[in-house]
Structure 1
């Protein structure tokens, strides 16, 4: 099961490449909180949470700050304990990434990664265990695996839309593609939600997908101005998982 739990959460954030959009009032903001149940096949494996933190500064410039956590629960915790944390910082308009951190703790596996984006040089620097591991040339605007989710939520969705954007984990930089396939009703912890089903083209992504020619990934976003990610479902070489929204708290508007 090593890396599967974090993969479930990362897929939510990798799931939807996007274009930048001119939106003076994005549907997210400080105070927004989303809570998910994670299932591996039919097993309730744990929970995840996604928070839009208070705006802050990164290297002296105003920045958006996003935080995600995932953890096992119940009997799963007894034999394979997971405590994963991800953080992302972007410019205030969420047009490009500034920094990304991942603290992965799964069973006996532990790894800390930090990804720093140099906007002026169009480069990124990936650190592992505090040491520089990769330097990579980047396109002008690129997102990390987490901030891409919020960039996508700036878009007004409709059936038939196609998207592409630059996404990088610091080792590789790819142009991801996504397709809005249909509109469906999704059962969630906050009730039945009308949502758009989005399919991700994942052939360029590594990890568990590399082992399966028939890997599939779908994400459902609420069909309203909030564009909340309410569900994720994937089938890969090692089975399938799903994440379903359990609770939602809107951003504080002041």
Structure 2
């Protein structure tokens, strides 16, 4: 059953903004990424509009240019997505896709704008998109209920197929960040192996062990090398942010 979101207990809200520093194989500056949240309306419905952008910088840009944009419009209370946009250019590999979700009929209307093809797919109830999944899980995961090895599952529609998304809890870990030492929850999102990722268990995620569940670090083992994203700036947090102070 899809949960209704209490705005007081929500881990995020209008005006939240993150900026990430991307590095390749641990040392080479690779790019930046941002995530922003705004309240707006879509077809007279109150929604959160999340925009995620990623782009390469420095030397990496010379031989592998990336410019990605992801957008999701999802319901403020249920967090169910209504529209998802994926517009990417990764070294010449491009996609320009818009997806509209009909949760009453359990259908996804996919508009492949690059190839001028429109298709309709059946979806499972309470389907999430690639972006809304993260915000849905931020609100639904209760750290006090987690045990090491637990797996959290949800259904996600990605591009043109239903995908059973799985997140494994790896335990707690304190990591050093730009802001100081932070107590974190460590997860293993299972991803699709293939063109980008080396294998299903290629991704590791660290989020702050507080009400915000800030995404502080993401590490990905790629087909060639590894990519790491570290949170370097933020604003608009809904709750206080706890930093450990050395005595």
* Alignment TM class, shorter chain as reference: 0.7 to 0.9
Distance in structure 1 (CA, Å) of the matches to 2:214 and 2:117 = 35
Task: Report 1:88-127 matches (<5 A).
Answer: 88-127=72-111
Q: Does the aligned pair in 2 maintain the 1:136–1:170 contact within 8 Å?
A: no
Distance in structure 2 (CA, Å) of the matches to 1:236 and 1:107 = 15
2:131 is the alignment partner of 1:142: no
Q: How far is the alpha carbon of 1:146 from its aligned partner?
A: 0.6
Distance in structure 2 (CA, Å) of the matches to 1:104 and 1:87 = 11
Over 3 Å counting, the alpha-carbon distance change for 1:63 and 1:214 in structure 2 is closer
- 1:208 paired residue among 191, 195, 199: 195
Q: How far is the alpha carbon of 1:252 from its aligned partner?
A: 7.1
- SS state at 1:28 partner: coil
Q: How far is the alpha carbon of 1:209 from its aligned partner?
A: 6.2
Q: Does the aligned pair in 2 maintain the 1:209–1:215 contact within 8 Å?
A: no
- 2:137 paired residue among 152, 158, 161: 152
Distance in structure 1 (CA, Å) of the matches to 2:48 and 2:131 = 12
Number of paired residues? 231
Q: Does the aligned pair in 1 maintain the 2:17–2:236 contact within 8 Å?
A: yes
TM-score scaled by length of structure 2: 0.84
C-alpha RMSD over aligned residues: 2.3
Over 3 Å counting, the alpha-carbon distance change for 1:23 and 1:118 in structure 2 is same
- SS state at 1:27 partner: coil
> Max radius of gyration: which structure?
2
- Structure 2, gaps ≥5 residues long: 240-247
Higher relative contact order (CA 8 A, sep 6+): 1
- 2:157 paired residue among 160, 164, 168: 168
- SS state at 1:199 partner: strand
2:157 is the alignment partner of 1:179: no
**Greater CA deviation, 190-199 or 131-140?**
131-140
Q: Which residue of 1 aligns with 2:59?
A: 75
What do the CA deviations read for 1:195-215 (whole angstroms, capped 9, x no partner)?
A: 00011233xx254367x4564
Distance in structure 2 (CA, Å) of the matches to 1:45 and 1:117 = 34
- 1:65 paired residue among 42, 49, 58: 49
Distance in structure 1 (CA, Å) of the matches to 2:58 and 2:180 = 25
What do the CA deviations read for 1:9-58 (whole angstroms, capped 9, x no partner)?
A: xxxxxxxxxx74654421211111111111221321011011112x1122
Over 3 Å counting, the alpha-carbon distance change for 1:86 and 1:22 in structure 2 is closer
- Structure 1, gaps ≥5 residues long: 1-18
Q: Which residue of 2 aligns with 1:190?
A: 179
Q: How far is the alpha carbon of 1:251 from its aligned partner?
A: 4.0
Q: Does the aligned pair in 1 maintain the 2:47–2:73 contact within 8 Å?
A: yes
